[in-house]
C-alpha cells in the first residue's frame, strides 16, 4: 500500500482505507501463513447497473479514523469467533470505476469452513457497521448517496432537507 493508505495492523488483523487501486495479491499476502489450510478472498467490484439503471461509477467516502477503528473491531471479533490465523480488510475510497474493486477481504484459517464463514461475516459486518458511504453515479442523471448496504435505494436530499437535519 502507498502513502495514500491509512492502515492499522494489530495482532493478526490488518485493516486499511486507500484511494489507490486495490491489489488482490497484496491483501492475500497479508494473511498467508504455513499454518493455513485455507485462504478465502472476497473482492467487491463496481457493477455496471443498479435496479436497471446504468451506473457510471461509484464514489466512496469515509470518516477515516472511526471507519478504521470499526473495521479493526470487526476483524478482531471475527478472528476470535472463527479461530482464524489472520484477517485483512481493505476498502477503497474516492472514485471506483466499473469493474474495479472497492473492497477486498482475505482470511486464513486452519480449515476452509471457518474461512468461508468468516469472510462472509466480515463483509456483512463491514457493510452494516463501517462508516463508509457511497454515491452511485448514473449515466445521464444525478447520483444518489446511500449507506454502504445492499439493495436499499438512496434518496436525494435538497438543500432544504439538509438544513432540517
- Rounded to whole angstroms, how far apart are CA atoms 31 and 35? 10
> What count of residues does the chain have?
165
- Rounded to whole angstroms, how far apart are CA atoms 146 and 154? 5
* pLDDT value of residue 5: 73
Q: Which helix (H) or strand (E) holds 28?
A: helix 24-31
Residue 158 reports pLDDT greater than 70: no
* pLDDT value of residue 150: 61
Q: In angstroms, how far is CA 60 from the centroid of its own chain? A: 10
Question: Which tens digit of pLDDT belongs to each residue from 77-118?
Answer: 999 999 999 999 999 999 999 999 999 999 999 999 999 999
Q: Which three cell numbers stand for residue 87?
A: 484477517
Choose among 33, 31, 32: nearest CA to 75: 31
Amino acid at each position: 500500500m502507498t502513502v495514500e493508505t491509512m492502515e492499522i495492523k494489530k495482532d493478526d488483523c490488518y485493516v486499511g482505507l486507500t484511494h489507490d487501486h486495490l491489489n488482490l495479491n497484496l491483501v492475500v499476502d497479508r494473511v498467508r501463513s504455513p499454518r493455513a489450510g485455507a485462504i478465502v478472498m472476497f473482492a467487491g467490484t463496481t457493477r455496471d447497473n443498479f435496479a436497471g439503471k446504468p451506473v457510471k461509477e461509484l464514489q466512496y467516502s469515509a470518516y477515516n479514523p472511526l471507519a478504521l477503528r470499526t473495521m479493526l473491531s470487526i476483524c478482531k471479533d471475527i478472528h476470535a469467533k472463527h479461530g482464524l490465523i489472520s484477517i485483512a480488510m481493505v476498502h477503497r475510497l474516492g472514485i471506483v470505476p466499473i469493474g474495479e474493486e472497492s473492497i477486498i477481504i482475505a482470511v486464513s484459517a486452519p480449515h476452509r469452513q471457518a474461512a468461508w464463514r468468516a469472510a462472509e461475516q466480515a463483509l456483512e459486518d463491514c457493510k452494516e457497521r463501517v462508516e463508509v458511504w457511497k454515491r452511485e453515479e448514473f449515466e445521464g442523471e444525478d447520483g444518489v448517496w446511500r449507506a454502504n448496504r445492499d439493495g436499499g435505494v438512496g434518496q436525494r436530499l435538497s438543500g432544504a432537507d439538509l438544513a432540517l437535519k
